[in-house]
Structure 1
Amino acid sequence: MAFAGRWETETQEGYDAFCKLLGIPDDIIEKGRDYKLITEVIQNGNDFTWTQIYPTNAKVSNKFTIGKESDMETIGGKKFKATVSLDGGKLSVSFPNYHHTSEISGGKLIEVNTLT
């Protein structure tokens, strides 16, 4: 499955509830509600560079190899170690407090975050 490309957020379902459960303050939730987040993915086989670009030009970039533990960082600057897996065309990784999956469907990048 090829994830490489530049993807722009089209919709966000459950954004407010997810942010509240993560403890993000209401004023920050309000500012981020209509952001058009850009996700840039460079893929070379099982090696990825996954960059999220926020409207303020803040960036978070994580490099990882499928199946190998990697150093990761959240937008809030929290550093952690995680292993990204690929199963059934979906990338899957656990962040602190939530689990993230990504897949390409209908020519779009679909990302789902679930609290853990």
Structure 2
Amino acid sequence: MAFAGKWETESQEGYDAFCKLLSIPDDVIAKGRDYKMVTEITQDGNTFSWTQLYPANAKVTNTFSVDKEADMETIGGKKFKATVHMDGGKLSVNFPNYHHTSEIAGCKLIETSISGAVVFKRTSKKI
């Protein structure tokens, strides 16, 4: 249940390079650079509902159970099937263009997305 709660972005590393890799337009990158994204997570055993609230009231919710294939969606609206795994308290999943992990470390939600040599790390605090 460590993931459950509401989290707000505290810091980001590699944001611009990662967004460019995903072909996100420069004006959208600029809007999101300093945005304090809110992530709401509910957890019931191995089942999660993971909602991210983006600028302009956009939001994406993915619901999944660990080690079971689920329908997922990206912020760009791309739908895909994926299986989220948990290893040592860390959730991991392959999105279409990158590998994403989430973990709780030092009372922070740490999300890391990796595509090739590009690494994006978002750290969020519980609110």
Judge same fold: TM > 0.5, yes or no.
Answer: yes
1:54 Cα deviation after fit:
1.4
Measured in 1, the distance between the counterparts of 2:91 and 2:78 equals 21
Is 1:86 the counterpart of 2:86 in the alignment? yes
Measured in 2, the distance between the counterparts of 1:24 and 1:76 equals 9
Post-superposition Cα deviations, 1:16-73, rounded to whole Å, max 9, x if no partner, equal 0001111111111111101110000000000000000113221100000000000000
Give the match for residue 77 of structure 2.
Answer: 77
SS in 2 for 1:36: coil
How many pairs align? 116
More strand by share: 2
Give the match for residue 51 of structure 1.
Answer: 51
SS in 2 for 1:96: coil
1:91 Cα deviation after fit:
0.2
Gaps of 5+ in 1: none
Give the match for residue 123 of structure 2.
Answer: none
In structure 2, what residue type is equivalent to 1:115? Answer: S
Contact 2:31–2:55, Cα closer than 8 Å, also in 1: no
In structure 1, what residue type is equivalent to 2:34? Answer: D
TM-score normalized with structure 1 length: 0.96
Measured in 1, the distance between the counterparts of 2:55 and 2:31 equals 10
> Which segments of structure 1 move beyond 2 Å, counting only runs of 4 or more?
none
Measured in 1, the distance between the counterparts of 2:26 and 2:58 equals 20
SS in 2 for 1:49: strand
In structure 2, what residue type is equivalent to 1:10? Answer: E
Measured in 2, the distance between the counterparts of 1:18 and 1:98 equals 10
Measured in 1, the distance between the counterparts of 2:101 and 2:3 equals 12
Identity of aligned residues (%): 74
Is 1:42 the counterpart of 2:37 in the alignment? no
Contact 2:32–2:55, Cα closer than 8 Å, also in 1: no
In structure 1, what residue type is equivalent to 2:26? Answer: D
